[in-house]
Structure 1
Amino acid sequence: MTKGAPSAISPALRDALSQWLSHLGALNDASDHTVNAYRADVTEFLDFLARHHGGAAGLDQLRAVETRDLRAWMAHARAEGRGARTLARALSALKSFARWLADREAGFDATAILSARAPRHQRPLPRPLDEDAARAVTETISDEKAEAWVRARDAAVVSLLYGCGLRISEALGLTGRDSARIATPGGSLTILGKGGKERMVPVLPATAEAVAAYQRLCPWDIAPQSPLFRGMRGGPLNPRLIARAMESVRLRLGLPASATPHALRHSFATHLLSAGGDLRAIQELLGHANLSTTQVYTGVDTARLMEAYRAAHPRAKSAG
């Protein structure tokens, strides 16, 4: 049977799946990409359930799911090469569907599914730049042959990434109205991040100066509602241009391939933590919904500490 084939799912369950996906898109404002990923994840589980027990997967079969069925599914998925992170996402989708069914279908007990645990996965450590490299990037981001306003523009963008911890999409989403807030002494920005989460970010004087320098040189009129950062023809700045500028400065400075625009946001968080910044305050500045997402930077800090220890401690050096 082909994975995810419609015949593996009963008409009633297929209809319920379709309604749930519509609910996700309409009420939870899920993107098309998310809806499609959830559809694939749940359909794959239902297909496995049908093959595991024989016959088409229906509401009764889903209602009878036990912990051992879920373990068998996860073991099968791992044997096929699915990583722990991908499987965790699939289980999250299945739990969301089961929770929705439990609210909708009388007698549907989702306890077995909701109590299932995904395999643990090691969150990869961010790869920040060291402080000197981050400073060098903000000061020499653009090629000297570029027009003065372009050099000032790129410097302002990377100053926002490193000085405020913004994502590239957040920096390029700023408008002329935001520039007035940046220019205010002790200014701050209200950023609408992932999932519609709003946060307040203070703006360092050096970052405010970089943005002001760009505005003075920019040949385009920056109205309050128009994009702050512009391309050569006056349209919104394409993030790919900042990525290219980072590629160029990376080669000039001899930095690793991990020196991307997003690495500057990692550097912002890591350097704050190294300087004694409070983890919860850094969480708010980054706009992370969960503290666990921010805690990955403690791993970076520990890794850097151990590197310094191995490089400097007499016993560590003699052991090498």
Structure 2
Amino acid sequence: MESASTLIQDFSRHLREGRRRSPHTVRAYVTTAERFCAFLAEHLGGTVGSAQIKALKQADIRSYLAFRRADDLSNNSAARELSAIRSFLKFVGGDESAIPAVKGPKVTRGVPRPASPDDIIAITQDIASSAREDWIGARDWAVLLLLYGSGLRISEALDLTAEALPLSDTLRVTGKRGKTRIVPILPKVRVAIEHYIDLCPHEMTPDKAIFRGKRGGPLSPNLIRRVVERARTNLGISDKTTPHALRHSFATHLLAGGADLRSLQELLGHASLSSTQVYTAVDAAHLLDIYQNAHPRASNS
């Protein structure tokens, strides 16, 4: 019988290599699996391994969710934990139909909160002007314009390597689960990236990240989040304006201007159209025209 610790290690490897899940998802699922197995050891009163996990009943999973609810877990968080548990049980048992059926809590799907173009540019300008070195300011400016101009996730932008150089009108991006897609690059975004590359003191070799840290290593997403947070504070802008909000802004601005959902789904790299449909709930009254025709930053002027 495989122990819980061995199963969790194998589960982590399965998520990373077999399912190609993001590092964030792997951490979240593995943490839930560890917490779940620790609970089972006390709940069942003994060692937990593959045999005990395969024999779990609906009541055991309900007991775990009740245990977690005592920590004031929200419905959305409880639903995510249940999803992680189901994934772990399927991995251990190998049969999805054998997993005890437990109805998840009702989840309220929040409406994305786009940032205004003026706020986006104000933040990027503040970051660029506050940087200690010109190349770092140019780097952060280019990263944030790329998130907004092409709708990339921050991890997708920072995973880009110099193999993509020289830049053209489009960019091949690797998204979740290793799926690739082609996204357009606005002229101003391309100019910003090329300006950063001209100033960057680190050599752009094909196997290295385009966006580099001060010492030449890959740029950390947390660093971008921190500089955006400082700029928000300096400018008195809502704390909802995060790097990921720039992706929301890209989507809502295009949709409001007339982009169809299927095209937007392709640009965002969503596996399911339902993930894209949340943007239809955003108030379009203050949004702008579609990509290339009247995107807020599409003009060369």
Identical-pair percentage: 40
Matches within 5 A, 1:1-320: 15=2, 17=4, 20-29=7-16, 33=27, 34-44=29-39, 47-48=42-43, 50=44, 59=51, 63=55, 65-66=57-58, 71=62, 74-75=65-66, 77-100=68-91, 102-103=93-94, 110=98, 113=100, 115-143=101-129, 146-180=132-166, 182=167, 184=168, 187-299=169-281, 301-302=282-283
- Aligned AA for 1:65? K
Letter in 2 for 1:262: H
Output the CA distance in 2 between the equivalents of 1:231 and 1:57.
43
Q: TM-score, normalised by structure 1?
A: 0.70
Answer with 187-196 or 242-251: which moved more. 242-251
Kindly indicate whether the alpha-carbon contact (under 8 Å) linking 2:174 and 2:180 is maintained by their aligned counterparts in 1: yes
Q: Partner of 1:189: helix, strand, or coil?
A: strand
The structural deviation recorded for 1:207 is 0.8
Query: How far apart are the structure 2 equivalents of 1:86 and 1:145?
Result: 37
Higher helix share: 1
Contact 1:179 1:211 in 2 (8 A): no
Question: Kindly tell me: are residues 23 and 70 of structure 1, through their superposed partners in 2, closer, same or farther at Cα, counting changes over 3 Å?
Answer: closer
SS in 1 for 2:270: coil
Output the CA distance in 2 between the equivalents of 1:26 and 1:247: 34
- Where 1:199 maps in the other structure, the secondary structure is strand
Deviation at 1:121, TM superposition (A): 1.9
Gaps of 5+ in 1: 1-11, 307-320
- CA-atom RMSD in angstroms: 3.5
How does the TM-score come out when normalised to structure 2? Answer: 0.74
Amino acid at match of 1:157: V
- The alignment partner of 2:165 has SS state of helix
| Contact 1:175/1:228 (8 A) holds in 2 | yes
Q: Aligned pair count?
A: 277
The change in CA–CA distance for 1:110 and 1:248 in structure 2 (over 3 A counts) is closer
From the superposition, tell whether residues 69 and 270 of structure 1 become closer, same or farther in structure 2 (CA, over 3 Å): same
CA distance in 1, matches of 2:258, 2:16: 38
Larger Rg: 1 or 2?
A: 1
